[in-house]
Amino acid sequence: MATIGVDLGGTKTMAVLVEDGTVVSKAKKPTPPTGGPADVIDTIVRAVTKVDPDGRATAIGIGVPGPVIPGTGVLPAAPNLPGWDHDVPVGDLLSERLGRRPVAVDNDVNVGTLAEHRFGAGVGVDNLLGVFVGTGVGAGLVLDGRLRQGPHGLAGEIGHTFVAFEDLGSGGLGRGELEDYAGRRSLERRARRLADEGKPTILFDLADGGRLKSRIWAEATEAGDQLTIGLIDQAASALAAAIASAIVLIDLELVVLGGGMAERLGEAFRSRVEEELMERSFAGVITPVRTARMGDTGGAVGAALLVAEHH
């Protein structure tokens, strides 16, 4: 059986054709930076048609940048997509354009976690958390071998868990949520403020007037920039606390760590998180942290798996 998986991101849209667990074809298109949902849907249809021009796939799965209303295929307001300021029935719109084949929709970190569980770092482990550190921090949950969506489609929003309930550490830069410490967006704000206060750092020189991309953070860390090292250490601590909480609350066997920021910071970052997780372990249960393995196509492959997961 052949199925199509689509990863709809803020900058690119990727489609894969998966047959018997193997990617047999893939296509990448830029997501339109302006316009509205209709333009985004057009782009998806073009990517799908490119990987499967003859319409062999029996169903389509798609990962989207935001929580999806369960059972509906509706993606509400998505800040990273152009003109996406209202509920859009992605599933129905795509199904109409793709010969009325069934379309399953879920959010991008959920499908990324699903891909890691079935083909990546989480194979054989039925209770795991996939944590993706990029601009923000998101996660997906596999419990007893199944992806958890939750009644509101919000399961896995670890970036919004609280790691500082009295808000003592966030210094006005948030309300004590994990994302206030560990996402690239917040890290840049923190770095900017510290630099404005006169703390020395090479971060902004490296960025040369642009945003502090993951690559910049990795370079500054390698160069021994103390401000960067301090912020990344704090990010790892906040991540470890949030993940440790998830583990004792849900009882999990494995953490898969991915996302642009985690990938760039590499093994040093992974082992730092794992070590702190060990210090925070409960009842002697040690939970390993593995690096995500699916890379660039993880989202699309996971989306192709959604078809079986949702039906």
Q: From residue 97, give the alpha-carbon distance in Å to each of 16, 58, 102, 144.
A: 17, 14, 11, 35
**Angle subtended at Cα 109 by Cα 53 and Cα 34, rounded to the nearest 5 degrees:** 60
Q: For strand 59-64 and strand 2-8, is the pairing parallel, antiparallel, or unpaired?
A: parallel
**Binding-site ranges for a second copy (CB under 8 A):** 67, 126-127, 139, 141, 143, 148-158, 160-166, 168-169, 175-176, 234, 237-238, 240-242, 244-246, 248-253, 280, 282-283, 285
CB of 243 to a second copy, least distance (A): 10
Pick 165 or 198: Cβ nearer a second copy: 165
Cα distance between residue 288 and residue 271, in whole Å: 10
CB of 300 to a second copy, least distance (A): 24
Helix 214-222 vs helix 184-196: crossing angle, to nearest 10 = 50
Cα distance between residue 79 and residue 47, in whole Å: 22
CB of 36 to a second copy, least distance (A): 22
Burial of 267 (0-12, 13-18, 19+ CB in 10 A): exposed
Residue 292 burial (CB count, 10 A): 23
CB of 37 to a second copy, least distance (A): 20
Pick 149 or 228: Cβ nearer a second copy: 149
Pick 14 or 236: Cβ nearer a second copy: 236
CB of 311 to a second copy, least distance (A): 16
Asked if 211 and 188 touch (Cβ cutoff 8 Å), the reply is yes
Pick 247 or 300: Cβ nearer a second copy: 247
CB of 264 to a second copy, least distance (A): 23
Pick 74 or 248: Cβ nearer a second copy: 248
Pick 24 or 285: Cβ nearer a second copy: 285
- What does DSSP assign to residue 31? P
